[in-house]
Amino acid sequence: MPGIDECLLEAMRLPGARGAALVDWTSGLALGTVGEAPGGDHEAAAAEAAELARMAAEHGTFTARGEDRPPVEDVIVSNADSYHLLRFVDTSFDSSVFLHLWLGRAEGNLALARIRLGEMAARLVLG
């Protein structure tokens, strides 16, 4: 059963991974970081990614229908140089965290990363 660090290290094994973090999106606090930080500062990156995650999760426009499913699974941002993949971790306890993976655009495989990150998020809290 992986802990936070093992989960982040596993994410870093994905092709093109530059950095990964586990962020509490209510507070913007990075609970764990590994690798490079977008912009060079993990703390600032976590706070800004948390803003984006909060916007997606809190506004009905982006959320799934139905009471018993997570409102949002992923937030994906692409730019000319890289991809950012935010994966919400669905927990049975009170928590509001997401995995943030930063992928180099040339080497990264967004589809693969999305599937793998979802599996990692589930294993993190389910064992």
Partner 1 sequence: MVRTPPLPVRDTSAPRALSPMLTRLAEERATGVLVREYGALHLVEGRVVYAESPLAPGLDVLLTAHGTLAAAAWQRAAAAAEGPLHAAELLLASGLLPAGALELCHLDALYDAGYFALAPSSTPGRFRYDGAPRTGPLPSVPVVALEHETLRRRLQLHRLWPDPATDTAPLIRADPPPGARAAGPRGSGARCRWPGRATGGAVAAGGAGSRVPARPPGPRAAGRCGARRRSGTCPVCCSAPGRSTRRRTARPDGTAPARPRVTGRRPAGVRPRAAAPRPRRRPAARRRPPGCRGP
Q: How far apart are CA 68 and CA 80, in angstroms?
A: 36
Binding of partner 1 by 24 (CB under 8 A): yes
Query: Which is closer to partner 1, CB of 64 or CB of 77?
Result: 64
**Binding flag, residue 60, partner 1 (CB under 8 A):** yes
Q: Is residue 91 involved in binding partner 1 (CB under 8 A)?
A: yes
Nearest-CA neighbor of 73 among 49, 56, 51?
56
Closest alpha carbon to 18 in 106, 80, 89: 106
Return the residues of window 30-59 that contact partner 1 according to CB under 8 A: 31, 54-55, 57-59
Could you give the CA distance from residue 32 to residue 29 in angstroms, rounded to a whole number? Answer: 9
Does 92 engage in binding with partner 1 (CB under 8 A)? yes
Is residue 2 part of the contact set for partner 1 (CB under 8 A)?
yes
Examine residue 27 and tell whether it contacts partner 1 (CB under 8 A).
yes
